[in-house]
Amino acid sequence: MLNLAIIGCGVIAQFHLRALAQLNTAKAAAVCDLRSDLAQKTAEEFGVPRWTTNAAELFADPAIDGVILALPACARTALALEAFKHGKHVLTEKPVAMNAAEVRTMIAAQGDRVGAVCSSRYRSLASAKAATEFIRSGALGKLRTITCRGINQPGPKPKSTPPVWRVRRDLNGGGIFVNWGCYDLDYLFGLLDFKLTPQYALARCFQVPAPFEAYVAPGSDAETHMTGFVTFAEGCVLTYERAESSTIPAGSYWQICGELGTLDLQMLKAKADNIVFIEPDPETGTRRRAIWNGDETPGSLEHDGVVFNFVEAILHGQKPQTTLQDALLFARIADAFYTSSDSGKPVSFD
């Protein structure tokens, strides 16, 4: 039985605790939060035998096998480094870190411990696994384009102040792109086994429009709208757009196009035709063929899956769905997008 500690007792920690409660191979041995009342309340609610406000005592405890870092990005890298230093396995929330330099420091400190990232959530679903195998079969041919566009229109004006960290560069590393782009690109790049070498990037960020200022916390300085373009040495390109708190009509799609066909994907659990292959047809030009159908309506599987996978990786000495090295690809693109937007110029990946 693995003993895992959850550091950070906010909303996302509850998903991790519920996932661990389903396993007979691992358990939540401790929770930690700077707020003693929250740490104690969380431990009592989930039947965790130990709570603390001091993460260092968990790192120093040989009975703790690994930690799940469920707190804002600005605090996670230092904790991950300490965990690795003490021989602990680490599952970190998304985005992987504040920037690529931080990811590289974690990789350097990791040693033979498992380092996993929660941005892999949507590849825990059966539809994603089916898409991965389909791509590996060579059915797409040589890769041409990777496309994602996700637009979420605002609902009613929030009744309470949104989370302070969510649209802050100094706390989260960015805004909508690191919040949702990490999922989008982990999903798409993961289907391609992360075998991509970025060359150039061009991007533009837009902050929240004045009519929607109440939808972000005061002092927010990161983007609520990102659009970007990346070329890869493999000959393909990425076209990306994400927006929230916007008047753009809502809609989302994820798509991978090769010379032999195109995959239309549904990362967010569509109820039917989750994965459709569009292929040449000599009579009609093209035809659509569902390669995976099923009901993946919203549930906890995407949250449970990252914890289950982390535990399996530790127990069986295997790679998790998204390693720190895999997540470095997203971090490098995020750095390039923000640099390009700030400078107004394309950025080269050296």
φ, ψ (nearest 5 deg) of residue 210? -55, -40
- What's this model's pTM, rounded to 2 decimal places? 0.96
At 295 the pLDDT is: 83
At 70 the pLDDT is: 97
Pick the CATH number of 123-295+330-348 from 1.10.357.10, 3.40.50.300, 3.90.226.10, 3.30.360.10: 3.30.360.10
Q: Indicate the domain borders of the chain.
A: 2-121+303-323, 123-295+330-348
At 160, is the secondary structure helix, strand, or coil?
coil
Instruction: Decide: residue 260, CB within 10 A, 0-12 exposed, 13-18 middle, 19+ buried.
Output: middle
Give per-residue pLDDT as tens, 98-151: 999 999 999 999 999 999 999 999 998 889 999 999 999 999 999 999 999 999
Instruction: Decide: residue 251, CB within 10 A, 0-12 exposed, 13-18 middle, 19+ buried.
Output: exposed
For the chain, the residue count is 350
Number of other CB atoms surrounding residue 213 within 10 Å: 12
Give per-residue pLDDT as tens, 291-337: 998 888 666 678 899 999 999 999 999 999 999 999 999 999 999 99
Picking from 183, 201, 244, the residue whose alpha carbon sits closest to that of residue 337 is 201
- The CATH architecture that domain 2-121+303-323 belongs to is 3-Layer(aba) Sandwich (3.40)
Q: What is the spatial distance between Cα 321 and Cα 150, in angstroms, rounded to a whole number? A: 23
